[in-house]
Amino acid sequence: MTAPALALGGTTYSWLHQATLTEALGHLADAGFRQVEITSAAPHLQARGFGKYERHELLRTLRSLGLAVSSTNPGFLDINLISPGNGFRRASVEAILDELELAHDLEAPVVIVMPGRRHALSPAPDEACRWWLDQALGILLERAERLGVTIALETNPYGYLGDARDLSTLVDHIGHRNLGIAYDVANTINQEDAWEGVRTAGHRIRIAHMSDTWRARWAHTSPGRGEVDFERFGEALRSVGFDGVTIFELIDMEPPLPRLHDDIAAFGKLGWSTAETGCVPAFSTRKP
C-alpha cells in the first residue's frame, strides 16, 4: 500500500532581494504550490508598518492565486530573544508580537520563531539566556493564544537550544498548547541524525522545513546538491504521524526558476506533493 503524500509548500524567502513579493507569489502559484510560507523581511514586507489595508489586499492576492499561508517567518536577521541588551530583547519581542498579528490577519496558523543566539566568543550564561527566553515566550504565548496562532520553535545551527532534544525539553516544560517545533533538516545536519531528531521531536512538530546542505558548508539549496537524506527525513515524518506542511526553504541567492520545477519533481519522487495542503495544528483555535 502506497503511503499518503506529504504536503509540500514553498516560501517567498526564495525571491527575497530578487523579485517583489507579488512576483514571488505568482511564481509559487505557477509552480503548483498551494501552501506558502511568507517571509516578512525587507524588502518584501515587514510586519510593523504593513497596515490592515495592505494585509487585506495581500490576502485577496493570495486567494486569487489559490494560495494559503501555512506560516509566516520574520527571517531572524536581527531578532534575538536572548540578546544581553535590554533594548534589543524588547525590540525582538515587539517584532514577534507584530508577526503574530500579521499571521492572524493572513489566516496563517503558524509563526516560525528562533529561540535566540549567543555570541560565539563571549556567550551569555545559560541561566541568563533561559530566563530571558522564558520571559519572552510568556509574553508571546499570551498573544498567540488570543489570536489562535501557534509558535513553532525552529531547530537551528546557532548553538542555543538548536536540536530536537533541547527544544522538546523546552516545549514540554512550558506546556502550552500554542507552542510546538518547526523541524528544519538542513539546520541540524551537524547536530543529529534526521531520523533520530524527528523521532525525538515527534508529536511536537507543527511544521517542517527542508532544503539541501553540506556538512562542511551550511546552505539551503536544491535537493541533490548536498548531503541531506530526504527519503529518510520523509520516512521519519511519517513514522511520527506528521500530517502538516513541509516547506521547501530554498535560500541560496540563485534564481529559483526554472530549477524550482525540477526540485518539486525530485521531492515528488520521494513522497511529497504540492497538491496536498497539510493540517492546521490541532490545538490552534483562531479568534477574530
Strands 6-11 and 205-210, bridge-based pairing: unpaired
The confidence score (pLDDT) of residue 285 equals 41
Structural domains for the chain: 6-273 (3.20.20.150)
Rounded to 5 degrees, what angle do the CA atoms 234, 239, 245 make?
Answer: 50
The confidence score (pLDDT) of residue 1 equals 54
What is the pTM assigned to this prediction? 0.96
Residue 212's beta-bridge partner residues? 221
Q: Is 287 exposed, middle or buried (0-12, 13-18, 19+ CB in 10 A)?
A: exposed
Q: At what angle do helices 52-64 and 86-105 cross, to 10 degrees?
A: 50
Residues of the chain with pLDDT under 50: 283-288
Angstrom distance (rounded) from CA 238 to CA 208: 12
* Spatial contact of 249 and 283, defined as CB atoms under 8 Å apart: no
The confidence score (pLDDT) of residue 77 equals 87
Distances in Å between the Cα of 22 and the Cα atoms of 49, 83, 107, 150 are 18, 33, 18, 25
Torsion (CA) 282, 174, 94, 123 in degrees, nearest 10? -130
DSSP annotation of 212: B
DSSP annotation of 93: H
Distances in Å between the Cα of 4 and the Cα atoms of 203, 207, 237 are 18, 17, 12
Contacts with 53 (C-beta within 8 Å, 6 or more apart), sequence order: none
* Spatial contact of 241 and 203, defined as CB atoms under 8 Å apart: yes
Which of 282, 272, 276, 288 is closest to 34 using CA atoms? 276
For 60, list phi and psi in degrees, rounded to 5: -65, -40
Q: In this predicted model, what pLDDT tens digit does every residue of 88-129 receive, in sequence order?
A: 999 999 999 999 999 999 999 999 999 999 998 999 999 999
The confidence score (pLDDT) of residue 281 equals 74
